[in-house]
């Protein structure tokens, strides 16, 4: 899933609040052509690597978005499955 946000023209920075569960990966890209950068990989964290559903559920309340906003003021956030082989993707 990719979410795209068009920020106000005067925005220099922004903060996203994301509530996500299961074996998720959160990536952020600046602009429509920017490369996605991994912000959080819940599966890669040793204490949650094999957990599913509520055990992996968390809220990221201060997820920083790119400090240098692109001229279009567009930010994309991608949520993906950290372990696609078992089908426990993000929710």
- The residue among 46 and 10 whose pLDDT is bigger is 10
pTM for the whole structure: 0.74
Residue 68's pLDDT band, with cuts at 50, 70 and 90, is: low
Answer yes or no: are the C-beta atoms of 79 and 1 closer than 8 Å.
Answer: yes
Residue 55's pLDDT band, with cuts at 50, 70 and 90, is: very low
d(CA 65, CA 14): 6
């Amino acid at each position: 899933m990719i979410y795209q946000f068009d920020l106000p023209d005067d925005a220099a920075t922004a903060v996203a609040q994301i509530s996500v569960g299961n074996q998720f990966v959160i990536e952020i890209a600046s602009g429509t052509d920017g490369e996605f950068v991994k912000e959080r990989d819940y599966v890669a964290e040793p204490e949650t690597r094999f957990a599913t559903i509520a055990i992996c559920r968390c809220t990221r309340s201060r997820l920083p978005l790119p400090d240098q906003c692109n001229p279009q003021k567009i930010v994309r956030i991608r949520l993906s499955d950290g372990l696609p082989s078992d089908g426990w993707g993000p929710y």
